[in-house]
């Protein structure tokens, strides 16, 4: 028996897969994660690293002018030079990385108007590749920053270590000797704690 035209239309509508009625997902642009990491890395490379590098260079000048007041002036100068160079490298890596990070809204501001499908795909691919370059340079900057922090802690610790004498045969008071050794221990412990924190953060990120 032939069905009425209205019943046939309803049957055909029910037979269509429901997936066709679902909206297609919109293309996703790549983005840094977490979202605040760009500002955090800029404060690291453009603020903290630059400040610590300047402090290291200034301390090098102080030790070079008064080596007799330092117990191990050679090692202090050597490690401070490494710390300063590492922190300056961090600043340079951060400067290079910043040129590769931008958002979809930035592209819309630079290229206003409607985009063709192929043009949007090309821009999305370019943004994804540049963001990967940003991640690579930021990883280098972060490694240099952490290495510079540890080197600076150790070098300052060697600087505060009590000298044998204050020069001219003047002995170092016992109180100064004790307090300087304590200061050395505190700085070395801070360096070790920073290394532990770096390893813990790295393991936590890989496990997440």
Give the domain ranges of the chain.
29-163+172-207
pLDDT tens track for 87-116:
999 999 999 999 898 888 888 888 888 888
- Report the pLDDT averaged over residues 26-34: 74
pLDDT tens track for 113-166:
888 888 888 888 898 999 999 999 999 999 999 999 999 999 999 998 888 777
pLDDT tens track for 186-197:
998 998 999 999
Q: Count Cβ atoms within 10 A of the Cβ of residue 96 and give its class: 0-12 exposed, 13-18 middle, 19 or more buried.
A: middle
The reported pLDDT for the residue numbered 26 is: 59
For the entire predicted model, the pTM comes to 0.78
Which CA distances in Å does 101 have to 41, 65, 127, 164?
12, 43, 8, 52
Residue 184 has pLDDT above 50, yes or no: yes
């Amino acid at each position: 028996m032939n069905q009425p035209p209205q019943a046939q239309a309803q049957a055909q509508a029910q037979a269509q897969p429901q997936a066709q009625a679902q909206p297609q997902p919109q293309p996703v642009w790549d983005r840094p994660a977490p979202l605040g990491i760009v500002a955090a890395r800029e404060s690291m490379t453009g603020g903290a690293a630059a400040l610590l590098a300047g402090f290291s260079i200034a301390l090098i000048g102080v030790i070079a002018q008064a080596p007799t007041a330092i117990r191990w002036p050679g090692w202090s100068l050597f490690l401070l030079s490494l710390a300063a160079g590492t922190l300056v490298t961090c600043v340079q890596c951060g400067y290079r990385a910043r040129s590769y990070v931008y958002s979809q809204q930035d592209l819309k501001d630079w290229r206003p108007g409607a985009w063709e499908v192929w043009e949007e795909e090309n821009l999305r691919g370019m943004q994804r590749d540049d963001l990967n370059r940003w991640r690579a340079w930021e990883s280098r900057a972060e490694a240099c920053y952490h290495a510079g922090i540890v080197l600076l802690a150790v070098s300052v610790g060697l600087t505060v270590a009590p000298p044998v004498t204050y020069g001219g045969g003047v002995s170092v008071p016992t109180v100064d000797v004790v307090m300087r050794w304590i200061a050395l221990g505190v700085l070395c412990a801070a360096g070790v704690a920073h290394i532990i924190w770096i390893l813990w953060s790295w393991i936590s990120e890989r496990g997440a």
